[in-house]
Amino acid sequence: MIAVRRAGILDAREMAELLNAIIRKGGTTAFVTEIDRDTILGWFAKVPNRSVWHVAEDADGVILGFQSIEPHPDLPPDACDIATFVKLGQTGLGIGSKLFEASQQAAIGLGYAWINATIRADNTGGLTYYQSRGFEDYARHRDVPLGNGQIVDRISKRYDLT
């Protein structure tokens, strides 16, 4: 059974470990440098009244994934940005779907009109995930440098809440 709840400060270390495993594997996230608990806590604190973080966990309380919605400086005020991370080996089990249900409701509750997802163009799993939720392509960002110098294209997708 997968349960979704709001993330809290005690989740930060496990969330960082989950994301670091994805970063080490490479190829699906724009993050190229590992993070720590304090980084996650800093993300929580950036815009607490306009952002929401959820975790999905199994019956034993192990975090299987997390998702955030928050404002982004490149987006209008009625839009939020979304990020999704699912534990390696756990994709395709409904974790992302359950997280999105919670994030969608939170975005509506915060008064957002639409959600933006910007994904690496070579991240077929991420592109498929957002497409399956109903996100539609609206922009392609060519030759975006990552922190390690790698150049990738990124695709922005939009999900209208209204």
Q: What is the pLDDT of residues 111-131, one digit of tens each?
A: 999 999 999 999 898 999 999
Quote the number of domains for the chain. Answer: 1
Is the pLDDT at 61 greater than 80? The verdict is: yes
- pLDDT band per the 50, 70, 90 thresholds, residue 146: confident
Locate tokens 């997802």: which residue? 117
The two three-digit tokens of residue 2, written as one number: 């997968």
Q: What is the CATH number of the domain that holds 22?
A: 3.40.630.30
Can you give the residue range of the structural domain that contains 147?
3-160
Beta strand 136-145 pairing with 114-120: unpaired
- How far apart CA 141 and CA 85 sit, in angstroms, is 21
pTM (2 decimals)?
A: 0.93
User: Which residue blocks in 72-123 are alpha helix, DSSP H?
Assistant: 95-109
